[in-house]
Amino acid sequence: MAAHAGPTDPAAVFREVMAGVCTPVAVVTAMDGERPHGTTVSAFASLSLDPPMVLVSLARSSDLLAIIQRTGRFGLNVLGSSQAALAATFASKGTTKFDGVDWTTDHGLPRLDGAPGWLACDVSDLADGGDHVVALGTVVGARTCEEHPLTYHRRTFGTHAPLTVAGAA
């Protein structure tokens, strides 16, 4: 196989490698008094089953991070394949992201209607990670429903489809 001629700057190569990693998409939310805030992330993962924990990576410059640091809580809305427009809305800057979006309060946090996965979390720790901060959250509430996930790969939204593997039972 021939080598791929691409960027040679280590940061640019890193960005290209990471663009090739398929990630799930979620909207992290928090309440600032009576006002909901949220942002789209693709950097989150399960951390522990006992106790149930997740990790979420947020830019240091994020307004949402400041709220989470102050309140010690966040919601994780795992998006479904039909919610790419919602992901794009929450990826933008500004204070009008919740305008026209159906949501409810669950465990005192904004839960987006129709998101197939929901986790309410208490922050157990915050860890420095370069230009981001990793929030470790202990899950205190959860809801789920069956839907194909929204994924992000090569800077494009998509979804997962099972493969048929020859010889698999």
* pLDDT score at 31: 97
* pLDDT score at 107: 97
- Identify which of 17, 11, 19, 16 has the alpha carbon closest to the alpha carbon of residue 42: 19
* pLDDT score at 48: 95
The domains found in the chain, sorted by start residue, are 23-146 (2.30.110.10)
Alpha helices in 20-143 (DSSP H): 63-71, 84-91
Type of residue numbered 168: A
| Sheet bearing 150-153, strands edge to edge | 23-24, 150-153, 156-159
Find where tokens 């089953």 sit: 49
DSSP-assigned letters across all residues of 121-141: EEEEEEEEETTEEEEEEEEEE
Tally Cβ neighbours within 10 Å of residue 101.
17
Per-residue pLDDT of the chain (169 residues; tens, 9 = 90+): 555 556 678 888 877 776 666 678 999 999 999 999 999 998 899 999 999 999 999 999 999 999 999 999 999 999 999 999 999 999 998 889 999 999 999 999 999 999 999 999 999 999 999 899 999 999 999 998 888 888 766 776 778 777 777 766 5
* pLDDT score at 18: 62
Find where tokens 């994924």 sit: 151
CB 45 within 8 A of CB 26: no
